[in-house]
Every structure is written in C-alpha cells, then in structure tokens.
Amino acid sequence: MRFTIENLSKSFEKKEVLRDISFTFESGRIYGLLGRNGSGKTTLFNCINRDINADGGSFYIEENGLRRDVVPEDIGYVLSTPVVPEFLTGREFLKFFIEINEKYITEKRSIDEYFDYMSIAPEDRDRLLKDYSHGMKNKMQMLANIIAHPNIFLLDEPLTSLDVVVAEEMKQLLRSIKRDRITIFSTHIMDLALDLCDEIVLLNHGVIETVEKSDLDSHAFRDRIIAALKEEDHE
C-alpha cells in the first residue's frame, strides 16, 4: 500500500505554509516528519485528515496497482494534546468506541485485553478520564486508533510531553504495529526521529525533502539542517 500526496498547497492569508508538496509514503515504515515548531506539520496533517481544506493538490491510496480516494476510515490521528471524553471512565470510553466502530474492527479483543495491551493498570480502568494523567490520556487516544486499525496513522508530536517510561512504551508499541500501515510521526526533536523512525522527511520552507538517516549521524549534517530551519525566521 502507498499513500501519495501530489502538489499539496495551503496558505493562511499571505502566509504560504505548504508549497506544492509531493511525496509517497509506503506501508510498513515509520516516517519521521521533522520540522521546527510552526513549520506546517500540523497543517499538513489537518489537510490529510480534511479538518481544513487545502488550496490545491490531491492525495490518494494505491493498493494492488489501483488508486482510490482516502476515506475517513483510512485515517487515525493522535493529537499532541489528548482529546478524550473526560466525563466517561476508561472502560466506558472503550466500550462506546468499540460499539460505534464495530464494523471496522478486524481484530476484536475484550476490553481488559486492550487495557493489558496498553499497560493500563486494573485500578485505573474504571476511573474517570478527567482524572487520568496526560500520559494515560495519550495512551487511551493511541489505543482507540490502534483498535480502529487505520491505514494511515498520523501522530502529531505525541511523545513530547510524556515521561521517559511512557514515551519508551509508546515507541515500542509503534514499532510493533507498523507492519501493515503507514505511520507518519511529526516531531521537532531530531534525536527522537532518529531513534524511532525508519525514514525521515524534513518539512522546511513549506516543502518536503528526504533526509538519509546515516547523514543525521553527522554533526555537520545536523548543523546544516538546523541552519536551514533557522532561515524560516527570516522569510
């Protein structure tokens, strides 16, 4: 499976955020979308998710040599700030989510099996989500997307504010589920992208370019990337 973006552009008033972006992502890989804060990573995700309308361009999925449009069920989107229904308990939320998405769930498990899968302790499963920590809310948001099994998994800075243990758990989880989906992981942290991702793409000046991971081990190359990103301040 491939996900292709062709000539995607988006501006806000006089600010051109995305400039004729074209790129093809392939399943089974985690792509690190590396760019500084404000570079357009979230705008790109919102265009793919159709939360906002692009000014131009298109995107599609290719399977077995056939192209098709991207439909809502193809997309899983994990936000940097978790959005969960805080008036529900963890168990109530999972039960509700599974019921409304039942026809899309291909690998069904019990609710407690899902909790076990995400290492959520038994004593936390019947607590209100409003009492969950940021990391636990993030786990629930991630779990809902894993249950739905989207073809394209968009993760917008999901590990930035997590503690070391939870962040490592999330990285191991993402590696374990990457095989049959396209995972695009946005971050402004270069070392995180290098540690987690199979391929790194740089969003800079509104365009995407591929970065060889071996080059990122070079201090000189890292310095050139940082210098290029700094240029955006002067546009």
Q: What is the CATH number of the domain that holds 153?
A: 3.40.50.300
User: Which is nearest to 185 in space by CA: 61, 34, 51, 39?
Assistant: 34
- Other Cβ atoms less than 10 A from the Cβ of 119: the count is 12
Residues paired with 21 in a beta bridge: 8
- Other Cβ atoms less than 10 A from the Cβ of 46: the count is 18
**Tens digit of pLDDT at every position of the chain (235 positions):** 999 999 999 999 888 999 999 999 999 999 999 887 778 899 999 999 999 999 999 999 999 889 999 999 899 998 888 889 999 999 999 999 999 888 878 778 999 999 998 889 999 999 999 999 888 898 899 899 889 889 999 999 877 767 788 788 888 888 988 988 999 999 887 778 888 899 989 898 888 988 776 666 666 666 666 665 565 544 4
Token pair belonging to 121: 């302790």
Q: HSE of 178 in the Cβ direction (CA atoms, 13 Å)?
A: 22
Domain count across the chain:
1
Structural domain boundaries enclosing 129: 2-234
Say what the pTM is. 0.86
- Other Cβ atoms less than 10 A from the Cβ of 26: the count is 14
